[in-house]
Amino acid sequence: MERFTRLLPDRADGLTAGDLAAAVPGAAPADRPFLLVIMIATADGRATIAGRTGPIANRADYELFHALRTRVDAVMVGAETVRVEGYGAMEPAAVLVSRSVRLPPTVGLLSQPGNRVIVLTPSDRTLEPCAAQVEYVRGEVPAGVRRLRTELGVRSLLCEGGPQLLGDLLRAGLVDELHLVVAPKVAGGADPLTIVTGPPLDPPLELQLLSVHESGGYLFLRYGA
């Protein structure tokens, strides 16, 4: 088990990923879930290396990632992230955001019979038959997130990306916290994918720094949005 050092707001040594995760979730708004996002980037701002987040991460990031899952009712993820990362068995419900609803039943998230997958989509399409338990929330992301609370009772939601989904959530004013892991790596390359894509935020969103932790040279930044 990896150990973290809290640098801000006051120093503390020997913390676990569970200690960091215990800070969330906050109180849910009346009409939607409390929504926190976790993303990782290199020191030069890349959200992927060779198309994946795995080469950026370390063990501490992995442990925090899974500790945060234990704190929420559901985990939200974009379809492209599922295509690339695969996913697997999920203890909380998975909210799969997809405009086209075109994922093969063999992808990890859909192939696990114990998974509950809520497809959030504006489309009237359905997935091919798969092992997971699947249900649908129809509509665009802002309305769909609210329906997760009002119709399905989801009070807390962890978004694990990707960058397009994070951009949609930020532009809709739905993000309560951003947990950003900064890796001590510089990857370079042309036109890097960053943690947010899509139209610019105008004006830029001001974040409030809530805490800073360190483990293995990685910085774990928690922001209020």
Query: Diameter of the chain by CA atoms?
Result: 51
Local confidence band at 84 (pLDDT 50, 70, 90 cut-offs): confident
Q: Where are the domains of the chain?
A: 30-224
CA 135 and chain centroid, separation = 20
Q: Which residues lie below 8 Å from residue 57, measured CB to CB, with a gap of 6+?
A: 40, 181, 183
pTM of the complete model? 0.94
Percent of the chain topping pLDDT 90: 90
CA distances from 85 to 78, 81, 82, 161 (A): 11, 6, 5, 11
CATH placement of domain 30-224: 3.40.430.10
Q: Is the pLDDT of residue 86 over 80?
A: no
Name the 3-class secondary structure at 15: strand
